[in-house]
C-alpha cells in the first residue's frame, strides 16, 4: 500500500489522488518529478549509501533537484544538527548506530521540505527510547513545516503519535478512527 501511495508501484485498479493529482495515471517521468517535488521517505532499513557520509546522504534529494553542492551541504548540515547528529556529519553509515542511521534517514526525508513523508516501519529496528525520540522528532518536523506523515507500522504504540489510524488486515481496510489520545509532543524545541 505504501509503495502505491508513494507512486513506487501502480495499483491494479482504482486511483490514488494526492493534491488533486491522480498519481496512478502519471507517466514514469512525471511520476518521478512528482515524487521529487512532493515526497520524502523514511525506511525501516535506512537505505543509506554506504560510500557517502551523513551530509552526502542527507543531500541526495537536493542533488536530484539540481541544488548546488554548497547550498546542499549547508541545508544537510542544518538538518543533521536538528536531528542531533551535529558531531556525526562526516561519518559513514557503518560508523553509526542504527538509531543514528535512522536519524540520517529522517533528515534526508525532510531536508527538501516535501508535502508528504512516507515512513515504512520507521522505528522497527530501534530501542524504546530511540523510538520515542524519533517519533517525537518526526511529529515536530511535520507540524513545523506543514508536512503530512503517513506511517506503516505493526506497532500500536507508534499509532499514539498519529491523528488518524487506519487498520488494514489482509489488504482490506477494517476501520478508520480519529485518535482521541494523541501522544503530546513538546513543540517548544526550536526547529528552523
Does position 192 have pLDDT exceeding 70, yes or no?
A: no
189 in a structural domain: no
188 in a structural domain: no
pLDDT of residue 151: 94
Phi-psi region of 170 (alpha: psi -120 to 50; beta: other; left: phi over 0): left
Q: Is the pTM of this model over 0.95?
A: no
186 in a structural domain: no
Lowest mean pLDDT among 81-90, 138-147, 177-186: 177-186
Range of the domain at 120: 2-178
156 in a structural domain: yes
185 in a structural domain: no
Does position 181 have pLDDT exceeding 60, yes or no?
A: yes
Looking up cell 546542499 gives 72
Q: Where are the beta strands (DSSP E) in the chain?
A: 17-18, 21-22, 39-43, 116-120, 148-152, 164-169, 172-178
pLDDT of residue 3: 85
95 in a structural domain: yes
Collapsing DSSP to helix, strand or coil, 61 comes out as helix
Q: What's the pLDDT tens digit per position in 105-130?
A: 999 999 999 999 999 998 888 888 88
Closest CA to 133 of 163, 97, 167: 97
pLDDT of residue 183: 73
Q: What's the pLDDT tens digit per position in 15-53?
A: 999 989 999 999 999 998 999 899 999 988 899 999 999
Axis-axis angle for helices 54-64, 98-110 (nearest 10): 20
CATH number at residue 64: 3.40.50.300
pLDDT of residue 49: 97
Q: CB under 8 Å to 65, separation ≥6 — which residues?
A: 36, 37, 112
Cell of 68: 548546488
Mean pLDDT of 149-176: 89
190 in a structural domain: no
169 in a structural domain: yes
User: Considering its fold, how many domains does the chain have in total?
Assistant: 1
Amino acid at each position: 500500500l505504501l509503495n502505491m501511495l508513494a507512486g513506487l508501484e501502480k495499483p491494479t485498479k482504482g486511483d490514488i489522488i494526492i493534491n488533486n493529482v491522480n498519481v496512478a495515471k502519471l507517466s514514469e517521468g512525471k511520476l518521478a518529478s512528482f515524487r521529487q517535488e512532493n515526497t520524502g521517505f523514511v525506511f525501516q532499513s535506512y537505505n543509506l549509501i554506504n560510500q557517502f557520509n551523513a551530509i552526502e546522504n542527507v543531500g541526495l534529494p537536493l542533488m536530484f533537484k539540481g541544488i548546488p553542492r554548497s547550498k546542499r551541504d549547508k541545508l544537510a548540515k542544518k538538518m543533521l544538527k536538528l536531528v542531533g547528529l551535529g558531531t556525526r556529519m562526516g561519518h559513514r553509515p557503518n560508523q553509526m548506530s542504527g538509531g543514528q542511521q535512522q536519524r540520517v534517514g529522517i533528515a534526508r526525508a525532510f531536508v527538501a521540505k516535501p508535502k508528504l513523508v512516507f515512513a515504512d516501519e520507521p522505528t522497527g529496528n530501534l530501542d524504546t527510547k530511540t523510538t520515542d525520540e524519533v517519533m517525537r522528532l518526526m511529529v515536530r518536523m511535520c507540524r513545523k513545516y506543514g508536512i503530512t506523515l503517513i506511517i506503516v507500522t505493526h506497532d500500536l504504540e507508534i499509532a499514539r503519535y498519529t491523528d488518524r489510524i487506519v487498520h488494514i488486515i489482509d489488504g482490506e481496510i477494517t476501520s478508520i478512527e480519529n485518535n482521541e489520545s494523541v501522544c503530546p509532543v513538546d513543540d517548544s524545541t526550536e526547529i528552523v
